[in-house]
Amino acid sequence: MTADAAAQLRRLLSVIPRLTGGRAHSIDEIARLARVDRATVAHDLFALATRVGEPGAFVPGLEMYIEGGAEGGGDVSVRAPHFRRPMGLTAAELAALELGLAMLRRERVPAEQRTIDRARERLRKAVARLPADPVPAAVRHGDLGAVADPVHLATIRQAVRERRTLRITYRAAGAEQSTARVVRPYGLVASRGAWYLVGHCDDREAIRIFRLDRIDDAVLLPATFAIPAEFSLESVVQDGRVFRAEEPQALRVRYSPAVAPWIAERERVPVAADGSVTVEHPLADVQWAVRHVLQYGPEAEVLAPEAARLAIAERLRRIVSRSPLRPSS
């Protein structure tokens, strides 16, 4: 499409929706709407009215009538089933937009968060004005995942974009103290409610993955780098999970015969003679192991690593201690 054709299309798309509805409009009025001279808009409209067939840039079913032809041109009227006022969003759709803004807010610095907060407040008011369109309780809740510092996220994104080396201060899972790392950031991935930085750790001399909510500080360094041709971000994510942990390890779980058929089908593993299934999952985060195993209740048992077994036992102790059904001492 040439520049002239693209400009003409933009003019037509800006004025045609305002002309539908049956009322006649003068060429001068349309020229003011399009912000061009009278001769230009008359040529645009005449070209549309006399088109042959249905060009790909336009939808079918548009009827246009121009009194007086292309030169003088009197009034213009348009009839079309298209370009009507958009349908109002449902309460569920408005709630989805609000959730999307909430997720976006997590990635923005405080100055930008205020603008997002105002938009979210307007959406909440819009939802409240739709009593005839109730929102199911299930769509009112969402897990926004682990919180990453927006300033650190902005710094990391700049480093990824400019291929700049980073110095990060990182708290590994289960570690009591943070350590400094020099990292060549290859990219960012979102997985299971958390953001991860994927890159080459100079200290470990290997590819490592760092959860952003565990990064206490991020500083741009002057050194630049090139990403190896054989590397791809897709190689570190499997079935929506980051499978290449900072310190590689696996979660080994035995699933009872009650759930084994579904696990076997999903994970594509054989069922044992006793009807159970044992699966090794890539483990990037012990807390993910806790959430994963507890959803199956007594039907899943952690075989390894010991850290995951201890974390699950601790979570169960906390649940029992808070339960109102716990026997009094």
CATH for 199: 2.30.30
Residue 329 lies in a domain: no
- Residue 129 CB neighbour total at 10 angstroms: 10
Is residue 199 predicted with pLDDT exceeding 70?
yes
- Which positions ≥6 away from 284 have C-beta within 8 Å? 196, 209, 211, 241, 242, 243, 244, 245, 246
3-state secondary structure of 188: strand
230 with 262, same domain: the answer is no
Instruction: Say what the pLDDT of residue 279 is.
Output: 92
> Which pLDDT score is estimated for 245?
47
Higher pLDDT, 110 or 251: 251
Judge whether 86 lies within some domain.
no
In this structure, of 1-15, 23-37, 237-251, the range with the lowest mean pLDDT score is 237-251
Whether 85 is in a domain gets the answer no
Pair (232, 293) in one structural domain: no
Do 168 and 135 lie in one domain? The reply is: no
106 shares its domain with 179: no
Percent of the chain with pLDDT over 70: 74
| Residue after which a domain boundary falls, among 242, 274, 296 | 242
Q: Are residues 234 and 168 in the same domain?
A: yes
Same domain, 34 and 69: yes
Establish if 290 belongs to a structural domain. yes
Question: Which of these, 264, 320, 316, 321, lies nearest to 294 by C-alpha position?
Answer: 316
Q: What is the pLDDT of residue 299?
A: 93
pLDDT at 122 over 60: yes
- Same domain for 186 and 163, yes or no, is yes
CA 68 – CA 40 distance, rounded (Å): 16
- Structural domain contains residue 8: yes
Note whether residue 145 is domain-resident.
no
146 within a domain of the structure (yes/no) = no
**Phi/psi at 24 (nearest 5 deg)?**
-80, 145
Identify the band that residue 71 occupies on the pLDDT scale cut at 50, 70 and 90. low
CA 115/CA 105 separation, integer angstroms: 9
- pLDDT category of residue 57 using cuts at 50, 70 and 90: very low
Specify whether 95 is located in the same domain as 128: yes
Q: For residue 140, is pLDDT > 70?
A: no
- Alpha-carbon distance of 149 to 240, in angstroms, equals 23
Looking at residue 303, the DSSP 8-state letter turns out to be E
Same domain, 284 and 313: yes
Same domain, 106 and 123: yes
Q: For residue 260, what are the CA distances in angstroms to 264, 269, 278?
A: 6, 10, 9
Boundary (domain end) residue, out of 104, 119, 140: 140
Alpha-carbon gap, residue 68 to 170, rounded angstroms: 74
Higher pLDDT, 238 or 185: 185
Decide if 101 is inside a domain. Answer: yes
Tell me, yes or no, whether 116 and 189 share the same domain.
Answer: no
Tokens of 268: 């594509």
Q: What is the pLDDT of residue 273?
A: 94
pTM for the predicted model, two decimal places: 0.41
- Tell me: the pLDDT tens digits for 151-187? 888 899 899 999 999 999 998 766 678 899 999 999 8
Number of domains in the chain: 4
Q: CB under 8 Å to 55, separation ≥6 — which residues?
A: none
Instruction: Tell me: do 219 and 161 sit in the same domain.
Output: yes
Of 226, 242, 258, the residue at which a domain comes to its end is: 242
Please, what is the average pLDDT of the chain?
A: 78
Query: Residue 129: which domain range?
Result: 91-140
